[in-house]
Amino acid sequence: MSIEKFIREIPKAELHLHIEGSFQPELMFDIAKRNHIEIPYKSVEELKKAYKFGCLQDFLDIYYTGAGVLLKEEDFYDLTMAYFEACRENNIIFAEIMFDPQTHTQRGVSFDTVIRGIQEAREEAKEKYGIDSLLIMSYLRHLSEEEAFKTLEQSLPYKEWITSVGLDSSERGNPPSKFRKVFEASVKEGYRPVAHAGEEGDADYIWEAIDLLGVHRIDHGNRSLQDENLVKEIVKRDLALTVCPLSNLELRNVDVLTSHPLKKLMDKGIKVTVNSDDPAYFGGHLNENFLQIRKALDLTKEDIVELVKNSFQYSFASEEQKSGYLKRVDAFVADFQD
């Protein structure tokens, strides 16, 4: 029980979290009712039963249905604030929040509405709970690069609120190379690049994310192990992976957690972080991901500390912030009583 208590209480950062994927069914029904929108499920229970995914696309179909009830600034505030409440419960003190503006602008919801609701919640969470956060604006890879450029343009008045750009949605058939130009333009605007790669796509997609997009971190990256030269390159460039164990299990990227590559990646010298991805859909927030992968792979307390420290060290927080966070982790570890 002591290591479970240790996991629950240690201060943490989360680097791979889609705010739309934190949309709990109860809140979804509440907002749908408030906005007079019908969703194709009669109850929370029926909706939860639909969370049986054979692949990434099965999940995305429900993900976009849920996001469709978000219309107003208040909705995005409520969604984001609910995530920060979960941060408190999981002892997350720093969060990098991914948001998908195209999911909403394609439905006629303005970029301004989306980001102002999220930003209000960020400011309140900092004031009320002391939780620091930043935003990663993700481009949807199943749409065109031209559409991504429109999103980049829409984001510019809000640059002070956005730290990074990412790439998510359907991976297969939508390689990173498809978005090379918009990533170059995004970096010129001061955004730090990350991208989903190697979740369902092969190691080639990870090479593209590194070489063509110049990513500072790799989201997922599970399939790095397909290519020993790629593993060496990731280690050489000191690129962290934002790994999401329960997501990988639910989307059938691994059949069972005992076969998850997380420990093998660590043993190869890759800097791994643990994250929840879309916790409303994949069975739990950050603590649950840590608890289940710890049990499945028989991780030690030292492994947990390494994973937690990686999340702070490879975050986009300032160096001063990182130093403070790491001191908090060290103090917790020193003071922890079994």
Phi-psi category of residue 63: left, alpha or beta, with phi > 0 → left and psi -120 to 50 → alpha: alpha
CA distance 106 to 142: 13
Band (264; pLDDT cuts 50, 70, 90): very high
Q: Which amino acid is at 118?
A: I
Q: pLDDT at residue 315 above 70?
A: yes
Contact predicate 80/117, CB 8 Å: yes
Average pLDDT over residues 269-290: 97
Band (337; pLDDT cuts 50, 70, 90): confident
CA distance 114 to 162: 13
**Predicted local confidence at residue 338, as pLDDT:** 63
Would you list the domain boundaries of the chain?
Answer: 2-318
Percent of all residues in the chain with a pLDDT value above 70, rounded to a whole number: 99
**Predicted local confidence at residue 257, as pLDDT:** 97
**161-212: per-residue pLDDT in tens?**
999 999 999 999 999 999 999 999 999 999 999 999 999 999 999 999 999 9
Q: Which residue has the higher pLDDT, 39 or 337?
A: 39
User: What average pLDDT does the structure give for the chain?
Assistant: 96
How crowded is the C-beta side of 103, counted as CA atoms within 13 Å?
30
Give the CATH architecture of domain 2-318. Answer: Alpha-Beta Barrel (3.20)
> What is the pTM (predicted TM-score) of this model?
0.96
Window from 44-53, 78-87, 114-123, 315-324 with minimum mean pLDDT: 44-53
Q: pLDDT at residue 136 above 70?
A: yes
Instruction: Determine whether 199 is an active site residue.
Output: yes
Contacts (Cβ under 8 Å, ≥6 apart) of 195: 166, 167, 176, 183, 209, 213, 215, 218, 219
Which of 73, 96, 199, 200 is labelled catalytic? 199
Window from 47-51, 125-129, 263-267 with minimum mean pLDDT: 47-51
CA distance 333 to 338: 11
Window from 60-74, 88-102, 282-296, 309-323 with minimum mean pLDDT: 60-74
**Predicted local confidence at residue 1, as pLDDT:** 57
Contacts (Cβ under 8 Å, ≥6 apart) of 21: 63, 277, 278, 279, 280, 281, 282
CA distance 334 to 163: 33
Contact predicate 289/246, CB 8 Å: yes
**Predicted local confidence at residue 80, as pLDDT:** 98
Q: pLDDT at residue 49 above 90?
A: no
Average pLDDT over residues 294-306: 98
Band (48; pLDDT cuts 50, 70, 90): confident
Q: pLDDT at residue 272 above 90?
A: yes
Q: pLDDT at residue 148 above 90?
A: yes
**232-243: per-residue pLDDT in tens?**
999 999 999 999
